[in-house]
Amino acid sequence: MVKELHFETGIDEDPKRCIHAKDWLGYMGNWVEDEPRRTDTWNVNDQSHPLERDHLIRVKYECLAQRAVAIIERLEDSQLDNFSWNYTTCIPSEVLELLSLKQPTIGGLSFVTDPFCGRFNRWSRTSDVDLSSFRQLRHLSWKAPMGSHFDDAAATILNNAHHLQDLELELQSWSRERESMESRIINREDGSGDWNKTSASTLLARRIFGLHTRTPDSPPRPLYPSIRNLTLTRLPLKDEISGQEVTAASFNLNTLRSLTLRMCPYWMYLLSSFLDAGVTPELKTLEIVDFYLQTTRQAAIRKTSIITNFIDSFIGLEELFVSHCGPVSALDFWEHVAGHGSTLKRLVHHQRTTDQDEELISCRMGKDLPDFAMSQEDRHRIRQDPFQNPLSRLDLAFLGLTCAPKYLKDVLLPFVSKKSLKVLHLRHTGVNASSHPSWVFNKALDLKLTEAESSGKSINNIRMRNDGSGRKSRRVIVVDPEEIAIAVKERKQWNTPPLQHHFRIFADWAFGPEGIKSLEYIAIGDLSRGNRYEQDNALVCRNVEGESRFRVIGQRDGGPEWRDVKSRFGSALGACPVENLIPEYN
């Protein structure tokens, strides 16, 4: 008997757009024409992809809704345990209506919607979502809800607060203009008079955690005694107007096993309240993502101290994923992580910093810190004695870092004598790909080779700018013929751009006789948003045949190696995203 019904685009698919998003952006005529255009209908051939111009086109959306209804109608009443609609579209109202009528006892719901969908009047408080029938939910996940659905999300969470075990809520990071629009939807009928300055996300947090101003007559704050796995993204954990904070008192600390806080304003207060609660956490997984360009050095150090104090307060973590502003030396941070040495198997540590080049819009998102904020003296010390590196006290199977390859060998020396490390993930955050050269692929040389090949010119006299630290200081040099020969071979053999010299040296060491014998893969690139940056992502595998000690497989090429690493370490590979699930503009 069928117990689960899932509508998915695929785990690696970068979220697309709802067909109704365009009419909110002012192009209503594109889908309300009396006669649908050819691109709005099934193509004549059978090879058409269900997405056109990054949109699930109208007729196909309607067919999908009809098929979903037909499937649900076939099911027995109260047959389903779990239902998901993860197409990054609005949820067809007829699907939800039938689901609530026939499957009110469902135990799990998962939605990935499009916050820019304009299917109904965004400027009123109307909503086409009614989840009030679902009162037995143990698992709820809703990513990228519209502001108009925040009330529905809050009501559903509160209706199931006592028995909810898994809660995931991921909000959109709005620009100031969009945040204002969403706030008005929520606050139009709010009589408090502060609707112009209260964000929609703050109002949502008020309802979920009872962050209104406390009075003697106030109802008790909602409690979530059964929560085991809590994942919150961009949900404020303090109400700036009432001054109320989300605290550990909302949860049963003896039950909570996984805590993920991504870009949640005032997350520090929640972690501090855990310390003040006097109950030792029993977490197995902890993920903290904190990065704001306005963060001062002092604030970044203070926030890092809160994380390390929390980590020091208990033992038993199996997975730790942290992305933060990085003025603190990674060695100092890892000293605290080493306290979980007997249990920790997966560690992701991303250090990011402000990019000073404000001329490029993408640089305003910050950049990865390439050197672990580590002094030359510390680097020399752990090179001479790897046991002084705190990582020597960890038996990690997975390690994810943001670091230039020339610094990696010194840090990874402790794993030469270990048998634990299977995967190293070197992330170059995707949002920085256009403004910062890849640490792994030499795309500039790749472009020069392509130009020479297409024009019929010789490839033996290629000139490029060197890799100086400043753009203005780079000199034009002639590329070494040996480097060109290696680059030509790599392009042909792997169907990827040639490797950067420093990464090639590192990979040759890592997979060589003096390297890390247990290492199976080096994952390259930003995998936090599926295949959004697949052109920059690759998997470097140990090579048992041929001259080279390793081979490179692009994400676009896929294959059994990619399936293997994702099945075993998918959550770690996708940890610590810094971008919206749904891009704000088409």
3-state secondary structure of 232: strand
3-state secondary structure of 313: coil
Q: Which residue has the tokens 């604030």?
A: 299
Query: 265 near 295, Cβ under 8 Å?
Result: no
| Helices and strands (H and E) in the chain: how many | 15, 20
User: 10 Å Cβ neighbour count for 463?
Assistant: 9
Q: What pLDDT is attached to residue 355?
A: 55
Residue segments in the chain with a per-residue pLDDT below the cut of 70: 10-17, 19-59, 118-128, 174-197, 213, 292-294, 355-365, 434, 465-475, 584-586
The string of pLDDT tens digits covering residues 369-385 is: 889 999 999 999 999 99
Q: Which residue has the tokens 């560690």?
A: 347
Please enumerate in sequence order all residues whose Cβ is within 8 A of that of 221, keeping only pairs 6 or more positions apart, or say none. 209, 210, 249, 250
| Closest of 76, 78, 96 to residue 7, by C-alpha | 96
Q: What pLDDT is attached to residue 530?
A: 86
**C-alpha span between 462 and 471 (Å, rounded):** 19
b/e map 368-396, b = 16+ CB within 10 Å = bbbbbbbeeebbebbeeebeebbbbbbbb
Q: Running DSSP on this structure, what letter comes out for residue 214? A: P
The string of pLDDT tens digits covering residues 132-190 is: 999 999 999 999 998 888 989 999 999 999 999 999 999 987 665 555 555 544 544 55
Strand partners, 324: 351
- Enter the tokens of residue 148: 């108009």
Q: What pLDDT is attached to residue 119?
A: 62
Q: What pLDDT is attached to residue 464?
A: 73
**Radius of gyration of the chain, Cα coordinates, nearest whole angstrom:** 26
Q: Which residue has the tokens 């969470």?
A: 157
Q: Running DSSP on this structure, what letter comes out for residue 299? A: H
Q: What pLDDT is attached to residue 29?
A: 39
Query: What is the model's pTM?
Result: 0.88
